Amino acid sequence: MTCFCAMPLHATVTTCHSKTANLDEEISKGDILVVATCQPEMAKGEWIKPGVIFINYGISYVPDDTKPSGGKIVGDVAYSEAKERVGFITPVPDGVGPMTMAMLMQSTVESAKCFLKKFKPGKWPIQYTKLNLKTPVPSDIDVSRSHKPKPIGDLAQEIGLFSEEVKLHGETKAKVLLSVLKHLKLQPYGRYMVVTGITPTPLGEGESTTTIGLMQAIGAHLHQNVFACVQQPSQGPTFGIKGGAAGGGYSKVIPMEEFNLHLTGDIHIITAANNLVAAAIDAGIFHELTQTDKALFNHLVPSVNGVEKLSDIKSKGYGD
């Protein structure tokens, strides 16, 4: 039954039995181990190489005085040892037979094939949203609010990212984890285009607008895999004459308010940390310049009834 499931998948199947010479060496070579010898805990944990998949559907009864029945069911592998080394291991079957386990194996393979079909290399199956073009072109904020962005989770799935590789921040923003590099390490490299050193035209087409426009042309019109990398705007262009750095016209990042002001909120964390350091330095300079060392020491170690003792509030902060 094992050969029936694995041979159509172009796998090399090695069949052994309990009397096979050098059985421990044969087991140590396997990436997927299916064991059904009905010999209690025959396969030892030290025989198994790290990260394998271990499917155990042999069962045996062994004496166990702690059980009311006087015995317990164990599998063909030393489970407590093996679970520390394997990538996945099935629990002791507890009465499930070989046919059930074989069908479970086949269902697992079919489920994996269906799941991975959505993540094949090649052109992304993206459904592009259409622009609602108007003449004359409305203001940037009106253009941004007149188009509903696709949920970022749907977009991540369309370009082949696994759910565990994407950290969502609402419906329009997400962070892609660095683990995606491991997932894509066998994919061929693409081409890297740099848009820089542009003097904006009187209408405002600069680096961001050109970058987003190129992405729209290559992706939505030529149907090639493409994405843009633009930096998060600082508060200078956002509150200066430009009014933002999300692009312009119909070539912009939306929602532009969130992109220009806070994105995922990291900029606010940096701002708060910067303000905290500045406030600590400012307070330290102020107190050191306006009070003597003796006055500061008396605040720290006040004299109560002639006894100098570290104040309670400071004791909690500095310890005994």
Cβ proximity of 30 and 52 under 8 Å: yes
Most confident range, picked from 71-85, 118-132, 278-292? 278-292
pLDDT at 58: 74
Q: Domain range for residue 295?
A: 268-308
Buried b / exposed e over 291-315, threshold 16 CB at 10 Å, is eeeeeeeeeeeeeeeeeeeeeeeee
DSSP secondary structure, 156-171, as one string: HHHTT--GGGEEEETT
- 254 and 147 belong to one structural domain: yes
Give yes or no: residues 75 and 157 share one domain.
no
Any domain includes 124: no
Of the candidates 36, 44, 40, 41, the one whose C-alpha atom is nearest the C-alpha of residue 17 is 36
- Rounded CA-CA distance 15/3 in Å is 9
Q: In sequence order, what are the residues at sequence separation of 6 or more whose Cβ sits closer than 8 angstroms to the Cβ of residue 50?
A: 85, 86, 87
Domain-embedded: residue 320: no
**Same domain? 168 vs 86:** no
The number of domains in the chain is 3
| Residue-level pLDDT at 41 | 82
Residues 252 and 274 in one domain: no
Q: Per-residue pLDDT for 242 more than 70?
A: no
264 vs 172: CA distance, rounded Å: 10
- Residue 186 placed within a domain: yes
Q: Specify whether 231 is located in the same domain as 177.
A: yes
Please indicate, yes or no, if residue 192 is contained in any of the structural domains.
Answer: yes
Instruction: Tell me how far apart the alpha carbons of residues 96 and 94 are, in angstroms, rounded to a whole number.
Output: 6
* Domain membership flag for residue 107: no
Does 266 have pLDDT greater than 90? no
Residue 135 in domain? no
Cross-strand pairs, 303: 308
- Give the model confidence (pLDDT) of 178-220 as tens digits: 999 988 888 888 889 888 877 777 666 788 888 999 999 999 9
Q: What DSSP assignment string belongs to 295-312?
A: HHHHHHS-EETTEE---H
Residue 5 has pLDDT above 90, yes or no: no
Shared-domain flag, residues 237 and 155: yes
Same domain, 144 and 243: yes
* 236 and 149, same domain (yes or no): yes
- b/e 131-170 (16+ beta carbons within 10 angstroms → b): eeeeeeeeebeebbeeeeeeebeebbbeebbeeebbeeee
Task: Give the domain CATH number at 61.
Answer: 3.40.50.720
Q: Which residue has the tokens 């962005």?
A: 149
Identify which of 52, 10, 16, 62 has the alpha carbon closest to the alpha carbon of residue 36: 16
- Residues 150, 91: one domain? no
Q: How many CB atoms lie within 10 A of CB 108?
A: 14
Q: What is the pLDDT of residues 61-102, one digit of tens each?
A: 788 888 887 888 787 888 888 888 888 887 765 555 555 767
Average per-residue pLDDT in the chain? 82
Residues, the chain: 320
Instruction: Tell whether 185 and 83 lie within a shared domain.
Output: no
189 with 170, same domain: the answer is yes
The span from the CA of 146 to the CA of 133, in Å, is 10
Q: Is residue 9 part of a domain?
A: no
CATH number, residue 245: 3.40.50.300
Q: What is the pLDDT of residue 99?
A: 59
Over its C-alpha atoms, the chain yields an Rg (Å, rounded) of 32
Task: Say what the pLDDT of residue 217 is.
Answer: 93
Q: Are residues 212 and 274 in the same domain?
A: no
In a domain, 284, yes or no: yes
Phi, psi at residue 80, to the nearest 5°? -65, -30
User: Average of pLDDT values for 106-128?
Assistant: 80
Q: pTM for this one? A: 0.55
For the purposes of burial, counting CB atoms within 10 Å of the CB of 242, is it exposed (0-12), middle (13-18) or buried (19 or more)? middle
